[in-house]
Chains A and B, each alone.
Chain A
Amino acid sequence: MGWERREAPPPPGVYVTTASYHSKLVEDYCARYHLIYLVAVYDRDGTCQDLYQCCSSQPRSDGRCFIFGDVEWREELAEKCRVETYLYKFRDIRDALKTLLEFGMHVKGIPCTEFNIDVLRVTGWCDVDPICCDVSAVKEKIIEEATATYHQLQTQHLPSGTGDAAEEADDGCAELARHAAETLGADVSRLRRCLCRT
């Protein structure tokens, strides 16, 4: 038995993504496409016959029907948009949420952080990809690495301060000034004073 298709708006339920709604965007979208909703119906004891009816008869807080869609459904959309709803029955709540999560992430390309954190936790997605749920560990690592790199670079750029190195640098500069003076016919000592300031 596959997904049950209805040409009707989604029944009441819990949206698995942080659903946003912008009427202008929805109008543009509806001018070209149908709105599609996937509804995972959690039916542990298998008593539900009409899936749509089961969701409609439950209070919203019951958490029996989980919905994935591009926008949260509103009555006003009925006039502007063609809508399709696909329903499927699940015995396990984890399977229900995981199906919607994987569809959203892999088919629609929605980043995991746009899903409700509870959905990510229940499906075990926080263990698969911890960044989706908590970035504090990564943040610490980034700060640590960046600080270490910064200090390493600072140490490398510090002048060694030894006489030999200073002399070497000075010799290099003097040599360069001499060449420039020869080529340009400039006063070597003045040129050196200008160029070889430490």
Chain B
Amino acid sequence: MPHIDVLLEACKKKEVAAARPRLCALLLMYKHLPRVGVVYLRTSAHRTPVQKWLEDMPGLTGEDKRVIMQKLMKAIGEAVAELKKKVGGVASAATLRRAILRLLLEELRNSA
């Protein structure tokens, strides 16, 4: 989905990451899903990809990164809880991909 990269680029601005943690969290979750196989829904599985993504963000102080990390992980935790209700604790990557996309589209429609 080309939308993902366009929007992730916006999330690289610290203002956006701080103001729209749910949107950025969902984008990161989608981006780091494996293409095939079964996925266990766990918040902690997203910590390292988010940390790596934050490392590449330009012009952020250590404190900025800490604050954004905290917000993103909170948003990921909430999204994981929502997804678990919808698809269960274990789901195929394809099912999860669609479920995250639906949440993302909902989030974007609220912004439009």
Interface string of A121-141 (1 = CB under 8 A from B): 000000001111001111101
Category for how many chain B residues contact A: 20 to 34
- Contacts A130-B112, A146-B13 given; indicate if A139 touches B6 (C-beta within 8 A): yes
A22 adjacent to B36 (CB under 8 Å): yes
**Does any Cβ of B come within 8 Å of A182's Cβ?**
no
Contact A146 B111 (CB under 8 A): no
- Contact of B36 with A24 in the complex, beta carbons under 8 Å: yes
- Which chain B residues border A112 with CB–CB below 8 Å? 105
**By the criterion CB–CB under 8 Å, are B94 and A25 in contact?**
yes
Chain B interface, DSSP helix/strand/loop, else mixed: helix
Do residues B94 and A20 form an inter-chain contact, with CB atoms below 8 A?
yes
Complex contact A139–B109 (CB within 8 A): no
Q: How far is the CB of A144 from chain B (nearest CB, A)?
A: 10
A111, B102: Cβ atoms closer than 8 Å? yes
Give chain B nearest CB distance to A30 CB in angstroms.
Answer: 14
Which B72-112 residues have C-beta < 8 A from chain A?
Answer: 92, 94, 98, 101-102, 105, 108-109, 111-112
Tell whether, in the assembled complex, residue B105 and residue A25 are in contact, meaning their CB atoms are under 8 Å apart: no
B6 touching A135 by the CB < 8 A rule?
yes
Chain A residues near B7 (CB, 8 Å)? 135, 139, 142
> When chains A and B are docked, how far (Å) is the Cα of A129 from the Cα of B106?
11
Is the pair A113, B101 in contact by a Cβ cutoff of 8 Å?
Answer: yes
Contacts A22-B36, A141-B111, A146-B20 given; does A114 touch B101 at CB 8 Å:
yes
Q: A45 on the interface (CB 8 Å rule)?
A: no
Main secondary structure of the interface of A (DSSP, over half): helix
Measured in the bound complex, the distance between the Cα atoms of B19 and A147 in whole Å is 8
Give the A interface residue count (CB, 8 A): 27
Hey, which chain B residues are within 8 Å of A22, CB to CB?
Answer: 35-36, 94
Cβ-neighbour of B98 out of A114, A145, A150 (below 8 A): A114
The residue that A138 contacts in the complex, of B19, B98, B102, B112, with Cβ under 8 A, is: B112
From A109, A137, A146, A150, contact of B102 by CB (8 A): A109
With A and B bound together, what is the CA distance between A132 and B2 in angstroms?
A: 11
Using A113-B1, A136-B6 as known contacts, say yes or no to A131 and B109 having CB atoms under 8 A apart: yes
Task: State which of B14, B105, B111 has its C-beta within 8 Å of the C-beta of A113.
Answer: B105
Q: Contact partner of A149 among B15, B98, B101, B109, CB < 8 A?
A: B15
Which of A114, A131, A149 interacts with B112 by CB under 8 Å? A131
Residues on B facing A (Cβ under 8 Å): 1, 3, 6-7, 9-10, 13-16, 18-20, 23, 35-37, 92, 94, 98, 101-102, 105, 108-109, 111-112
- Pull 9 A–B residue pairs with CB atoms less than 8 Å apart, ordered by A: A20-B94, A114-B1, A131-B105, A138-B112, A142-B111, A146-B16, A146-B19, A149-B19, A150-B18
Q: Which residues of A are at the interface with B, using a C-beta cutoff of 8 A?
A: 20, 22, 24-25, 109-114, 129-132, 135-139, 141-143, 145-147, 149-150
